[in-house]
């Protein structure tokens, strides 16, 4: 519930900004860097959207690399040009990278969106 500030006072709230963290069309085999968390505030990965361009099966992976750790966020076998949507709340640490990997020689689209909390 939102409560107004008392008369004569101002409240400063953290603002949430939805941002595109990565967007692209890639033909495999490739491993693409989509985003590097290099700004202040907290970055939260919210949506992973994938879609294949052909009716064949396409193996796609979205992962985060932070320091020496690599965390798989989504591994999907796209079929028949059916889109895939994953909704999550993954904090992306400062310096971490978001990657997209596609195997084979097919083409797929990827879009990553999230929040920039300041």
Domain ranges for the chain, please list them. Answer: 16-117
pLDDT in tens, 53-86: 776 788 999 999 999 999 999 999 988 888 999 9
What per-residue confidence (pLDDT) applies to 80? Answer: 81
Beta bridge mates, 102: 30, 60
Task: Give CA–CA dist 68/26, Å, rounded.
Answer: 26
Res. 6: pLDDT tops 70: no
Calculate what percentage of the chain has a pLDDT beyond 70. 85
From residue 60, how far is each of 15, 21, 97 by CA, in Å?
A: 33, 17, 17
Using the CB atoms, write b or e for 28-57: b if 16+ within 10 Å: beeeeebbbbeeeeebbbbebbbbbeeeee
Q: Would you tell me how many other CB atoms lie within 10 Å of the CB of residue 103?
A: 13
CATH class of the domain comprising 16-117: mainly beta
Strand order of the β-sheet with 42-52 is 16-27, 107-117, 42-52, 84-92
**Global pTM value:** 0.82
């Amino acid at each position: 519930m939102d409560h107004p500030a008392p008369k004569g006072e101002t409240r400063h709230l953290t603002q949430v900004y939805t941002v595109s963290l990565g967007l692209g069309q890639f033909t495999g085999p490739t491993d693409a860097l989509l985003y590097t968390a290099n700004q202040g505030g907290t970055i939260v990965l919210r949506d992973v959207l994938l879609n294949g361009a052909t009716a064949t099966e396409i193996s796609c992976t979205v992962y985060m690399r932070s320091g020496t750790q690599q965390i798989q966020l989504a591994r999907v076998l796209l079929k028949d040009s059916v889109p895939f949507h994953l909704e999550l709340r993954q904090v992306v640490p400062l310096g971490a990278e978001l990657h997209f990997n596609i195997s084979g020689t097919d083409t797929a689209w990827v879009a990553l969106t999230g929040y920039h909390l300041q």
